[in-house]
Amino acid sequence: MSDTIFGKIANGEVAADLIYEDDEVVAFRDLNPQAPVHVLVIPRKPIPTLNDAGPEDAELVGRLMLAAAKVAQQEGIAEQGYRTLINCNAGGGQTVYHLHVHLIGGRPLQWPPG
């Protein structure tokens, strides 16, 4: 699982535009941004999909969301608003099988998104 591109970024094997990191979480700019701010927030622990997260991962999933909020503040979009999104499996739009939160903002966002 750590052989995904996100696993390699989390392990420091592949360079990325990191904007936040701690012992459990890494955040970096998306290479194909869908908004002026489009950041991916990932756990260092390899979890393929949200379906694969277990009760033991509850705190880590919460840390992902708190890191996303911190990055939103850091990027100056917290007050105007932003979207957090987790795609799960192919039908949900997931293309890299390492759990990740999309943090999207910096422009008005429409609903429904997809």
Catalytic residues: 100
Between CA 114 and CA 89 the distance in angstroms is 15
Contact by Cβ (8 Å): 20, 68: no
CB-count exposure of residue 62 (10 Å: 0-12, 13-18, 19+)? exposed
The distance of Cα 25 from the centroid of its chain, to the nearest Å, equals 9
